[in-house]
Amino acid sequence: MAPFKSQNMSLNSFVTPDGGEFGRAQAVQADAARVAPTVEMNPILLKPEAERRSQVVVMGKPLRVASAREYYEMKLELWPVVTDALDTLRANYDIVVIEGAGSPAEINLKEHEIVNMRVARYANASVVLVGDIDRGGVFASLAGTMLLLEPEEQALIKAIVINKFRGDPSLLDSGLDMLLERTGVPTIGVVPYYTDIHIPEEDSLGIAPNEQSAGETVLEVAVIRLPHMANFDDFDPLRQEPGVQVRYVSSRAEFGTPDLIVLPGSKTTVDDLLWLTESGLADAIKKSRTEGLPVIGICGGYQMLGRRVLDPDGVESSRAEVEGLGLLPVDTTFEGDKATHQVKGTVNLKQGLLEGYGGGEVVGYEIHMGRSSGEADSSLFNISERSGHATDTRDGAADVEGLTLGTYMHGLFHNHSLRRTMLLNLAQRKGVTLPEGAALDLDAEYDKLAEHIRENVDMDVIYQMAGLK
Task: Return d(Cα 32, Cα 87) in angstroms, integer.
Answer: 21
Do 2-197+447-465 and 204-439 come out as alike in CATH topology? yes
Taking all residues of the chain, what is their mean pLDDT, rounded to a whole number?
93
Q: What tens digit of pLDDT does each residue of 13-47 get?
A: 999 999 999 999 999 999 999 999 999 999 999 99
**Is residue 283 predicted with pLDDT exceeding 90?**
yes
What pLDDT is attached to residue 50? 72
Q: Torsions phi, psi of 96, nearest 5?
A: -120, 125
Confidence of residue 210 (pLDDT cuts 50, 70, 90): low
Confidence of residue 204 (pLDDT cuts 50, 70, 90): low
> How far is residue 61 from each of residues 16, 20, 386, measured CA to CA in Å?
11, 6, 17
What pLDDT is attached to residue 314? 84
What pLDDT is attached to residue 30? 97
Task: Return d(Cα 71, Cα 47) in angstroms, integer.
Answer: 12
Q: Torsions phi, psi of 313, nearest 5?
A: -100, 5
The candidate with the shortest Cα–Cα distance to 295, out of 221, 395, 230, 363, is 221
What pLDDT is attached to residue 86? 98
Q: Exposed, middle or buried, 121 (CB in 10 Å: 0-12/13-18/19+)? A: middle
What pLDDT is attached to residue 318? 82
In the chain, the percentage of residues whose pLDDT exceeds 70 is: 97
- CATH H-level, domain 2-197+447-465: superfamily: P-loop containing nucleotide triphosphate hydrolases (3.40.50.300)
Task: Return d(Cα 439, Cα 167) in angstroms, integer.
Answer: 32
Q: Torsions phi, psi of 360, nearest 5?
A: -70, 155
pTM: 0.90
Task: Return d(Cα 407, Cα 365) in angstroms, integer.
Answer: 11
Fold of 204-439: Rossmann fold (3.40.50)
The candidate with the shortest Cα–Cα distance to 206, out of 178, 185, 235, is 235
Confidence of residue 109 (pLDDT cuts 50, 70, 90): confident
What pLDDT is attached to residue 21? 96
Strands (E), 233-325: 244-249, 260-263, 265-266, 295-298, 308-310, 321-323
Task: Return d(Cα 10, Cα 238) in angstroms, integer.
Answer: 22
Domain assignments of the chain as residue spans, ordered by start: 2-197+447-465, 204-439
Report which DSSP code applies to 258.
-
Confidence of residue 354 (pLDDT cuts 50, 70, 90): very high
Contact 65, 44 (CB under 8 A): no
Q: What tens digit of pLDDT does each residue of 129-161 get?
A: 999 999 899 999 999 999 999 999 999 999 999
In the chain, the percentage of residues whose pLDDT exceeds 90 is: 84
**Is residue 433 predicted with pLDDT exceeding 90?**
yes
Q: What radius of gyration do the chain's Cα atoms show?
A: 23
Q: What tens digit of pLDDT does each residue of 213-265 get?
A: 556 899 999 999 999 999 989 999 999 999 999 999 999 999 999 999 999 99
Q: Which residues are catalytic?
A: 299, 410
More confident residue, 373 or 444: 444
Q: What tens digit of pLDDT does each residue of 374-431 get?
A: 865 678 999 999 999 999 999 999 999 999 999 999 999 999 999 999 999 999 999 9
